[in-house]
Amino acid sequence: MTERRPIRLIVNGRAHEVSLPPNTTLLTALRDLGCTDAKNGCEQGECGACAVLLDGEPMNSCMILAWQADGARITTNAGLGTLERPHPIQEAFADAGAIQCGFCTSGMVIATKALLDRNPDPTEAEIRDALSGNLCRCTGYGQIAAAVHLAAERLRNLPSWSASSASEDGQEPAFKKRVLASDDVTGEGGRS
């Protein structure tokens, strides 16, 4: 029998105390918690469909053991916004037609969030480089790159958004406050 290890996963602002075998990937743990927006694509770190932000850094959750995320802040696509109040990046993907079958979308949105947190005005080459770890079989990437440009423009034009608003300074970025569901008091948005 495999020994289980108790850990605390903080997913989209909600803490989960779980006890898992030490070889459980973060992807498996997230999906077991109901976070199906982290997709199980390749299980080899090649497709990016399972990408999440781990303390603000993009990671393929299939390549991380769950215990390595013990106590870390994990943000999935669902943690960025809601259907009623999507994050500007999610909105831009929909508006630019960058969503076809949707399988890669969560990972693409996470990669875009990480890019725009670092660089609010990326070039086409920087966008393509940031998305290079994400595979899409439907769109041909043109619409996805257009969505990133659109999201960057919209975020730059929000009076409260800047690259520093996404920093780890402990302050809630103002744009995140606008995407919270009315019953969400965690400050992270979305559901876990």
Question: Using one digit for the tens of pLDDT, what is the confidence trace for 22-73?
Answer: 999 999 999 999 999 999 999 999 999 999 999 999 999 999 999 999 999 9
SS3 73: strand
- Integer Cα distance of 148 and 187 in angstroms: 24
Our measurement of the distance from residue 22's CA atom to the centroid of its chain's CA atoms, rounded to an integer in Å, reads 24
Q: Is residue 32 located within the same domain as residue 68?
A: yes
Residue 25 within any structural domain of the chain: yes
Residue 190 within any structural domain of the chain: no
- The number of folded domains in the chain is 2
Q: Is residue 106 located within the same domain as residue 128?
A: yes
103: Cα within 13 Å, side-chain hemisphere: 11
Residue 67 CB coordination number (10 Å): 17
Q: What is the CATH number of the domain that holds 93?
A: 1.10.150.120
SS3 146: helix
Residue 10 within any structural domain of the chain: yes
Domain boundary (79, 99, 126) is at: 79
Residue 141 above 80 pLDDT?
A: yes
Distances (CA, A) of 165 to 20, 119, 189: 35, 12, 16
Q: Is residue 49 located within the same domain as residue 96?
A: no
Residue 110 within any structural domain of the chain: yes
| pLDDT tens digits for range 97-121 | 999 899 999 999 999 999 999 999 9
Q: Where are the alpha helices (DSSP H) in the chain?
A: 26-32, 88-95, 105-118, 124-130, 142-157, 174-178
Residue 188 within any structural domain of the chain: no
Residue whose C-alpha is closest to residue 92's, from 147, 155, 47 = 147
Q: Is residue 109 located within the same domain as residue 171?
A: yes
Residue 127 within any structural domain of the chain: yes
Q: Is residue 60 located within the same domain as residue 121?
A: no
DSSP letter assigned to residue 180: -
Residue 78 above 90 pLDDT?
A: yes
- Integer Cα distance of 64 and 105 in angstroms: 20
The answer to whether 29 and 8 are in contact (CB under 8 A) is: no
Q: Is residue 168 located within the same domain as residue 101?
A: yes
Indicate the pTM of the whole model: 0.81
Range of the domain at 21: 5-79
Q: What is the CATH number of the domain that holds 35?
A: 3.10.20.30
User: For position 73, what pLDDT does the model report?
Assistant: 98
The strand pairing partners of 59, in sequence order, are 52
Residue 20 within any structural domain of the chain: yes
- Integer Cα distance of 85 and 2 in angstroms: 42
Residues contacting residue 43 through CB under 8 Å, at least 6 positions apart: 25, 27, 62
Our measurement of the distance from residue 168's CA atom to the centroid of its chain's CA atoms, rounded to an integer in Å, reads 16
Residue 148 within any structural domain of the chain: yes
The answer to whether 80 and 90 are in contact (CB under 8 A) is: yes
